[in-house]
Amino acid sequence: MHRDLPDFSMPAEEQAHLAAEAFRLLADPTRIKILWALLQGESSVSCLGELVGASPTVVSQHLAKLRLAGLVKGRREGTFVYYTAADVHVRRLLTEALFHAELSDEGSDAGHRHSEPGPPARDVRST
């Protein structure tokens, strides 16, 4: 039935697994907050810890996982590493997830709202 549709397609197996892994890694409120902060600008582990209310050790562990998933990247300067969101796709992914959560939280009236959560003002692009 679906295969008869002219534009029907399914993701490749590897693509589906990679997407599932990215979603699995985003399934943590602290990681969501870390990414949201990084979408607004480069930050160190200690600064991120203050922003999200977690110790630098905990933030470092989260960043390591996010880095492995390709969601964040780091830049070393002396003994410090400064992190940013990996690219503009991270912004879209996170904005959509937060928008969906906001709509779900509002219940049945949610379908009548058309505003998104305020995305960070700075455009984060991979360099």
Domain at 55, CATH number: 1.10.10.10
Q: How many domains does the chain have?
A: 1
Question: Is position 91 within any domain?
Answer: yes
The pair of three-digit structure tokens given for residue 87, joined into one six-digit string: 């690219």
Q: For 92-103, b where at least 16 C-beta lie within 10 A, e where not — what string?
A: ebbbebbeeeee
- pTM flag (> 0.85): no
Domain span at residue 42 reads 20-107
Consecutive sets of 10 residues in the chain, 127 residues long: mean pLDDT of each?
Answer: 82 91 90 95 96 97 92 94 92 89 70 49 40
Enumerate residues 6+ apart whose C-beta is below 8 A from 36. Answer: 94, 98, 120
